[in-house]
Structure 1
Amino acid sequence: MTLLPPQAFLDALAPLLGAEWDAFAATYAQPPVMGLRVNTLKLPASALRQRLAPLNLEPVPWCQSGFYVNADAAARAGLRLGKSPLHAAGLYYLQDPSAMAAAAALAPQPGERVLDLCAAPGGKSTHLAAQMKNQGLLVANEMVSGRAAIVAENLERWGVRHAIVTNETPNRLAARWPGVFDCVLVDAPCSGEGMFRRLLADGARVQWSAAQVSGCALRQSDILQAAAELLRPGGRLVYSTCTFNLEENERVIARFLQDRSDFELAALPGAPGWAPGLGPLAGHPGIARLWPQQAVGEGHFLAHLQRHPAASSRAPMPRPRRALRVDRAAQRAWDAFCAANLVMKPSGALLQTGTYLYQAPETALDMEGLRVLRPGWWLGDVRGERLEPSHALALGLTHADFQRTLNLPPDDPAVLAYLHGETLTADGAAGWLGVCVDSFPLGWGKRGGAVVKNHYPKGLRVQSAVRD
């Protein structure tokens, strides 16, 4: 099925593309490209590639954990990747290969403070978390509350332990945390021109207009200015969009550099198929364009910025974080749960909000007064003297961390029964246990006799593919 983009969009791009225009326009007669990124927090990329051998996965050149998925091979193998138990266990994320370039370009290191400022739906946040190896601090922020909940869900499935999920405006974060972060990713809301090939992108195609592009560019400039305040001197920032026009890309960056003498473009590593920038920043090594006719994917824009090491923040330094407090009942409930059900209690400071218990990241920040969905790794709900474990706790553990497990092969009908919320039957010791597929946790069950009561979250029992 050919999904034609607006003719005004094609006409506007023609001068930019020149001799490449025909090849670009021809991509709209081709289906969108599917990509898969492996969760290296849970297994090596080669191990998942072996498990999915019928798909003949081919590597994405700019992402070590990314692969192209042959949709025809998946159909022949009867694999619905978004509904697979391996997806439910957080072993991979379905993502446009072009979109994998942003986090790959930022390349945060374990132990750093990293901010994903416009995080929904969370694909790039999961990529950043994997690069950080669950060390340091990741803040995933999304301004729209419903979309922030999706970010939290994706990080939960990924097994992320060191993240905070916030639902704030960039300006409020900049006022609270000036100069705090080593790395900032701004995957800016945009006109979505790189999504026109998708069946579900009817809204983007219908809503596109030159006026919308201009409105997006103004909003992007505001977000980028806030992001600049959040970055420490010497820190790095990647600005990205999934759109092609100059207004939302090179011109946003050019205006920013005119306003901010404390920033400069820094060279990107580059990859096969990456094209140079155009317009006011033509040919600069700190700019990359991923055109669908040159780099297999839906398309992306990247700019890599660095704040000068000698720069000073324009805002006051952040307030110190208040001491974490956990009431005695919650501490006893957590200690008792770990002693009865886990091989070893996870280390780390505890944080309590109401009845919810979390493990705080090692380098957490003052969050008082901010809208925070997750202040850390959610461990469970304290109910009197006992702890009801969270799904996030199960997904953040390994098979070896549970005292009791029910391990099922991927093709066992009991796996789908569990994901549908059904009660399972399995002899063994009573108590909480980790229900696993191929030794990777799917969630909790609670056994009494030979009956395993299902504790898979009701909201996840009807699964759908998630793409970024």
Structure 2
Amino acid sequence: MKLPENFKNKMEKLLKDEFNNFLESYKENHYKGIRINTLKISVEEYLKITPFKLEPISWIKEGFYIQGDESRPGKHPHYHCGLYYIQEPSAMTPVEVLDPKPGDRVLDISAAPGGKTTQIASKLKGQGLIIANDISPKRAKALVKNVELCGMKNCVITNESPENISNKFLSYFDKILVDAPCSGEGMFRRDPKTIKSWSDSSVEKCCSMQREILDSIPKMLKPGGRIVYSTCTFSPEEDEGTIDWFIRKYPEFEIEEIKNMDGLDYGNPDWVNGNKDIRNTKRIWPHKIKGEGHFIASLRKKDGNEVENISFNCNNIDIERYLEFQKNYLNIEYRDNLHKIENKLFLIPSGLPDMSGLRVVKQGLYIGDILKGRFEPSQGLAMSLSKKECKSTINFSSESIEAIKYLKGETLITEGEKGWKLVCIDNYPVGWGKQVEGNLKNQYNFDWRMR
């Protein structure tokens, strides 16, 4: 791997005696990981059924290194069931530091493609809510898929600037994740293409974007709330430098010590002539730990004012077709937080404020479409259910040809009572089928199908 000379010169000045070890790490392959989705299955249960050779990541209970070059976790039926998320091991760390608790209101301001959003969801355990935002419309679409695949019910996805988001959520969030756009130096080994776009000017450009995002964050956070700021770069300007700038501009915040993270290095205030508390931040170095480069800082808001936000007003008129479907096919009931937009029906997370004026991509759990004379359930609804929450199901083994045929979108020859069926693989929902005269018509999301 040919690294930019300017980058190597900079890293040699920063790392001094450690530089040769750092350089040697680029001769090794990058580490691959999966994070078990505990919204659907416990770590212990998944380890009983996994087909992969896994090694625990010491500081992430749900995280595992995946062994073997031939392992293809994105092709296995368990991936389509949402039982795990494929994620670079170091990238699991910021949410572990954020430490969301059930009932928290959490903002992921630069959320796509959704790895950290889905990790937050597993920590919330279905309680509280997440606003997952991304300013790019294309990236927001990828975010929708991963949120639905994970089975999240309490997530709203927006496609907005941080400034516009901040005008709607005043003193609202308990925790905010700022996984900031950066120069990507920590990803050179994992994705060598990023080397071509790196330059000293790209570092300067990223610093500007990071500070613009952070300027919108303080007024959205409750007093006592926490921000976790993270990047996947080594650049002190984007890491310690940005945190030093933020603390100076917003003195109501303090840098918290990050504990219980064995193997992670300290931030270095001397690199930016910064506040001594910058040492409380953390760095992940590829020559010291099995993962790619990251920087993480935890910031607590010491004081501020509480603000009352206008509540979301649900429209649950003319939803009888859904209620009929619910009675016939589901063992759970949704009623109070149902919201209809044209023919689409959503389940709105409790406590959501008024969202008018924002570009909303996904307004909570998309349940399905109320059409003339019928209701059609969504892929997202299927993924949000457990097998026991549906009255009519059909189950296939992950090793069966039927499972693969279903995931490819084929019609299956099956017998059973006419109507909707929740299709499961190894007893975990993967989508819908419709039983018609000896055939199970395939309703698996077209864009998700195996190719």
Instruction: Report the equivalent of 1:394.
Output: 382
Shift in Å, 1:71: 2.6
SS at match of 2:61: coil
Q: Find out whether 1:299 has 2:296 as its counterpart.
A: no
**Superposed counterparts of 1:136-215, under 5 Å:** 136-199=128-191, 201-202=192-193, 204-215=194-205
Q: Deviations 1:294-352 (Å, cap 9, x if unpaired)?
A: 121111100000001x3237xxx465124211222xx2011111112112324641011
Residue in structure 2 matched with residue 69 of structure 1 by the alignment: 66
- Deviation, 1:255, is 0.5
Question: How far apart in 1 are the matches of 2:65 and 2:198?
Answer: 28
Provide the rounded CA distance (Å) in 2 between the counterparts of 1:61 and 1:233: 32
Shift of 1:360: 0.6
2:396 to 408, 416, 420: 408
Task: Decide whether the 8 Å contact of 1:176 with 1:318 is kept in 2.
Answer: no
1:112 and 2:110 aligned? no
2:248 is the alignment partner of 1:250: no
Q: SS state of the match for residue 64, structure 1?
A: strand
Corresponding residue for residue 275 of structure 1: 265
The structural deviation recorded for 1:285 is 5.1
Q: Please say if 1:312 is aligned against 2:302.
A: no
Which residue, 197, 203, 222 being the options, matches 1:232? 222
2:20 corresponds in structure 1 to: 22
Letter in 1 for 2:11: L
Q: Deviations over 1:246-276 (max 9, x none)?
A: 0110000001101001111011124121000
Q: Secondary structure at the match of 2:375?
A: strand
Which residue of structure 1 lines up, in the alignment, with residue 36 of structure 2?
38
CA contact (8 A) 1:286 1:305 kept: no
Closer, same or farther in 2 for the Cα pair 1:347/1:84, shift >3 Å?
A: farther
Tell me how far 1:59 sits from its aligned partner.
1.1
Aligned in 2, Cα 1:348/1:11: closer, same or farther, shift over 3 Å?
Answer: farther
Spell out, residue by residue over 1:41-86, the C-alpha distance to the aligned partner (whole angstroms, 9 max, x if none).
Answer: 111112212222551x1111221100111134xx2xxx42011110
Q: Kindly tell me: are residues 7 and 49 of structure 1, through their superposed partners in 2, closer, same or farther at Cα, counting changes over 3 Å?
A: farther
TM-score computed with the length of structure 1 as normaliser: 0.93
Distance 1:130 1:322, change over 3 A: closer
Q: Distance in 1 between matches of 2:155 and 2:443?
A: 24
Structure 1 spans left out of the alignment, 5+ residues = 464-468
CA RMSD of aligned residues (A): 1.5
With the length of structure 2 as denominator, give the TM-score of the two structures.
Answer: 0.96
Instruction: Mark the CA change 1:348 to 1:70 in structure 2 (over 3 Å): closer, same or farther.
Output: farther
Amino acid in structure 2 at the alignment position of 1:120? A
Q: Is the 8 A contact 2:52 2:66 kept in 1?
A: no
- The one-letter amino acid of 2:31's match is V
Conservation of the 8 A alpha-carbon contact between 1:37 and 1:67: yes
Contact 1:443–1:455 (8 Å) recurs in 2: yes
Supply the AA of the counterpart residue of 1:69: I
Give % identity.
Answer: 36
In structure 2, the residue matched to 1:421 is 409
Is residue 372 from structure 1 mapped to residue 365 from structure 2 by the alignment?
A: no
1:466 matched residue in structure 2: none
Gaps of 5+ in 2: none
Q: Which whole-Å deviations, capped at 9, do the CAs of 1:124-176 have from their partners, x for residues lacking one?
A: 00000000001111110000011011111101000000010000000001111
Q: Structure 2 CA distance, aligned partners of 1:21 and 1:333? A: 65
